[in-house]
Amino acid sequence: MTSRLAGRFAELKSANRAALVTYICAGDPGHDASLALLKQLPGAGADIIELGMPFSDPMADGPTIQAAAVRALKAGQTQLKTLEMVRQFRVEDQTTPIVLMGYYNPIYRYGPDNFMRDAREAGVDGLLVVDLPAEHDSELGPLAREAGLDMIRMATPTTDAKRLPAVLDHASGFLYYVSLNGVTGVGQADNATVRDAIGAIRQQTEIPVCVGFGVRTPEQAARFALDAEGVVVGSALVDCIAKAETPEQGVNDVLNLVSDLANAVRHARN
């Protein structure tokens, strides 16, 4: 059976365009507003959704997403509530892939076996565990594959040709290429450098490559969409929530930006 992620990338390949991958933190700024936003992202143009699992020590994230995690946790978000959000999303949408993105600690505390079972039953399609590198695949990889969940791996500008095979081993769904060193939401990547990196990756795998970190504007997204199979935007969306005077305004501002990003990505190759 074809996974939602594989199916979505096949659709987009036939349409000759990249995917817009949108990140939001579950429970930010509160459960109700976050759920409302999640449900509306596909209609605004999101092809794939990364749903952040809030954690108290998100070491790979910059100030914007760190603050989102704090807001969500203060509002009472839990792993159970995050999975319930996915369940409620699936009542209305059975086609948009959802990847849970976050850190190993909340999964470990939940219980990896129970988490994989519940995530699959909720309608999760993949996992991106930032602090669990490919060398530690045995921690979650076998459980994820048994549950039918894609295990998303990350490559960075420092991932050389010697290490790349280990990163690609057992990777599925897509490869998340971190466009610059550092944390999320800080800096801007160089397009030529990213293009060369994608070319090197494609010499070793056919897995789709999605570029993230440092992508904030429709113009930046369109440039990366020329070369990558997907473009990930997170901090710019979370910023909309942080700067809004009300949760409702935050939701609307995010959806408006997603619409602009989607339009840019969809027309990048035309």
Task: State the Cα–Cα distance between residues 192 and 101, nearest whole angstrom.
Answer: 27
Q: Tokens 């995050």 map to which residue? A: 82
The token duo for 220 is 């930046």
Name the active-site residue from 28, 47, 61, 150. 61
Known catalytic membership, residue 248? no
Name the active-site residue from 28, 47, 50, 150. 50
Q: How many CB atoms lie within 10 A of CB 240?
A: 20
For residue 179, with 0-12 CB atoms within 10 Å meaning exposed, 13-18 middle and 19 or more buried, which class applies?
buried
Please spell the DSSP secondary structure of 167-211, one letter per residue. Answer: HHTT--S-EEEE-SSSSTTSS---HHHHHHHHHHHHTT--S-EEE
Known catalytic membership, residue 139? no
Active site residues: 50, 61
